[in-house]
Chain A
Amino acid sequence: GDSVTQMEGPVTLSEEAFLTINCTYTATGYPSLFWYVQYPGEGLQLLLKATKADDKGSNKGFEATYRKETTSFHLEKGSVQVSDSAVYFCALNRIRDDKIIFGKGTRLHILP
């Protein structure tokens, strides 16, 4: 069945470091892909999305490119901030029934 696999955390980086959180997916067809973020004490928020191959989603300095050939949607940011500390979830929208399938999440700690 459709699934999402993302790198396990926690990931700890210093402020201004480069961030990559890997995400790969298995799906029938070409689903939309998402990154959601959950800040401490808050609900899940959509960070960015891409709806077709080679699309790049971007928001708040984060980017992810829909790579059909590698079935990946890695999240990147060039210079992280302490305020980026959160749990990040990669997800896909299953085409046949519009359900969102989430990865297990990656906890990110940014040290000042």
Chain B
Amino acid sequence: GAGVSQTPSNKVTEKGKYVELRCDPISGHTALYWYRQSLGQGPEFLIYFQGTGAADDSGLPNDRFFAVRPEGSVSTLKIQRTERGDSAVYLCASSRLGQETQYFGPGTRLLVL
């Protein structure tokens, strides 16, 4: 079956603009995670959904970052008033309920100029 997909694959924006990043998890996976991977670093946790609700958003760096998953499938990560420091690869992963193995998408590379 299809894996986790993310769109766009690349996004270039200007400082201060608003961006939305989309994640389409594997069908049937109830858990969805967002991570941010800065250059030369490992992925860092941002937020976790179980179904439609954000079960844990403790990794979001500040209130400019927000994510939704209104129907328990596709998720959108939203970044307001982007800053150059937001430039990174944003990764999405999904997993089945009760299983710890997460399956990652290819990521969205965000560049804020």
Closest-by-CB residue of B relative to A51 is B100
B residues less than 8 Å from A42 (CB atoms) = 106
Interface residues in B35-50 by Cβ distance below 8 A to A read: 40-45, 48
Chain A residues positioned under 8 Å from B91 (CB to CB) = 43-44
Contact A91 B107 (CB under 8 A): no
**A43-B104 contact given A103-B42, A104-B42, A105-B42, CB 8 Å threshold:** yes
| Beta-carbon contact of A45 and B41 below 8 Å | no
Interface set, chain A 1-55, CB cutoff 8 A to B: 4, 32, 36, 42-46, 49
Task: Evaluate contact between B101 and A49: CB separation under 8 angstroms.
Answer: yes
Confirm or deny: A97 has a beta carbon within 8 angstroms of a beta carbon on chain B: yes
Task: Give the Cβ gap from B9 to chain A, nearest Cβ, in Å.
Answer: 10
Q: Is A60 an interface residue (CB 8 A)?
A: no
The interface bits of chain A over 90-112 (1 if a CB of B lies within 8 angstroms of the residue's CB, else 0) are 01010001111111110000000
A66 adjacent to chain B (CB < 8 Å)? no
Determine if B45 and A43 form an interchain contact, defined as CB atoms under 8 angstroms apart.
no
In this complex, the interface size class of chain B, counting residues with CB under 8 Å from chain A, is 20 to 34
B80 interfacial by beta-carbon distance below 8 Å: no
- Distance in angstroms from B7 CB to nearest chain A CB is 13
Q: How far is the CA of A100 from the CA of B93 in the complex (A)?
A: 11
Cross-chain pairs A/B with CB under 8 angstroms, 20 sampled: A4-B42, A32-B100, A36-B104, A43-B104, A43-B105, A44-B43, A46-B102, A89-B42, A89-B43, A93-B100, A98-B48, A98-B100, A99-B48, A100-B45, A102-B43, A102-B44, A103-B42, A104-B40, A104-B41, A105-B41
| B44: chain A residues within 8 A (beta carbon) | 102
Name the A residues within 8 Å of B102 (CB-CB): 46, 100
B14 vs chain A, min Cβ distance (A): 26
Instruction: Please measure, in the bound complex, the distance between the C-alpha atom of A101 and the C-alpha atom of B48, giving whole angstroms.
Output: 14
- For the complex, is B4 an interface residue (Cβ under 8 Å from A)? yes
Once the chains are docked, how many angstroms separate the CA of A4 from the CA of B42? 10
CB of A102, distance to nearest CB on chain B (Å)? 3
